[in-house]
Amino acid sequence: MSIAIVGAGLGGLTLARVLHVNGMDCVVYERDPSRDVRGQGGMLDIHSGQRALREAGLADQFRAIARGEGQDMRLLEPDGTLLLQEDTPEGAPLERPEVDRADLRDLLLDSLPGHMVRWGCAFESADNGVLRFADGSDATYDLLVGADGANSRVRALLTDARPAHIGQHVVELRIADIDRSHPDLAAMVGRGNYWVLGNGRSLAAQRNGDGCVRIGLSFYNTAEDWFATSGIPFDDPAAARTRLIEEFTGWDLRFTALIAACDDTIVPRAITALPVGLTWPPTPGVTLLGDAAHLMPPVGEGANMALLDGALLGLALAAHPDDLPAAVEAYEREMFERTSAAARMSADMQKLLMSPDAARRILAFFRPDGV
């Protein structure tokens, strides 16, 4: 049985690892020419996804790279009112630790035999058990798994659904070596997550394991072309920072000081999602996992769902090694139910974030008893 996985992200690699520990072979095809060709993003909050790492036999290695202090949380309103401060005690359980996405991906890559991942293989099409790549090469498969992310090309084999804009734009920035360069701001952000929410805006600052702080500025209820009409000159970082600060006029000056301290790394992102509850009819020899299957708003569920998808598909295939349709049917049935619930919760969170009093609504969402 030939299993082809398109995409060497967290979900695809978890699937490959679970297959490997269960004595099954596969090949992961990745369009990037090498593992280090581009950055992998910031920190991830890993909670339900820890089950996947246990199934992959990597729980101990995960704990070694996870940041328990990353569970710290500070939640504020735009006027500076502190609504919540949680500091993780030394030795507390790693219920929702933060981990650098690049470190987690490296952990998964290093757990696989070298022949399992083939770099520089950009997927073009597939039919009748043959994969075709952009360089003209091809490969055969019995099962094709699309783990190729939000803009999946494999998805088109199963559904016409496409990600749609959800009324949110994000600008990502960073402050390198913040303890040395801006110790006052470092103390303010703390060891984990620092959220300021309200008035159709949010500022999320997050401590990373490499000593930097990544900052995400979110703008809600925005039209799809908002970046083009906003007047933010992204090709001029200094001017862009000035213009972004203007977007937060009236906020406590400590928060705009964070924006002013950022370096010239500025990445704008328009946020999209797939329809909540997306399914497709059983299709012989093809399935999806991760963002390819259920792209949802970025509120902490996507990576966890991708890890679980990979692990549970791998376990289903190991349980039905001679019956691919049965394995895929079992996986998809569970995945549709689990990820639909996560997508609904993410959509509800998104609505709260769009509200004028977002910080208090989020606090009530997580602390309905007021504790």
Beta strand extents in 186-332 (DSSP E only): 193-198, 201-207, 213-220, 267-273, 286-288
Per the CB < 8 A criterion, the answer to whether 298 and 269 are in contact is: no
Give the model's confidence band at 369: pLDDT under 50 very low, under 70 low, under 90 confident, else very high. Answer: low
Interior/surface letters 2-24, b for 16+ CB within 10 angstroms, e for the rest? ebbbbbbbbbbbbbbbbbbeeee
pLDDT computed for residue 368 by the predictor: 62
Q: Is the pLDDT of residue 94 over 60?
A: yes
Lowest mean pLDDT among 76-85, 90-99, 204-213, 249-258: 90-99
Interior/surface letters 314-334, b for 16+ CB within 10 angstroms, e for the rest? bbbbeebeeebeebbebbbee
Cα–Cα distance for residue pair 226/27, rounded to 1 Å = 40
Residues ≥6 apart with Cβ < 8 Å to 184: none
Per the CB < 8 A criterion, the answer to whether 347 and 276 are in contact is: yes
Beta bridge partners of 125: 132
Beta bridge partners of 117: 28
pLDDT computed for residue 362 by the predictor: 87
Render 36-102 in DSSP notation, one character per residue: TSS---SEEE-STTHHHHHHTT-HHHHHHH-BGGGG-EEEE-TT--EEEEE-PPTT---SS-EEEHH
Q: Render pLDDT for 219-261 as a digit per residue (tens, 0 to 9).
A: 999 999 999 999 999 999 999 999 999 999 999 999 999 999 9
pTM for the whole structure = 0.94
**Rounded percentage of the chain residues whose pLDDT exceeds 70:** 98
Q: What would the two tokens of residue 37 be?
A: 């060709």
Which element (helix H / strand E) includes 210? none
Q: What would the two tokens of residue 22 be?
A: 């269960």
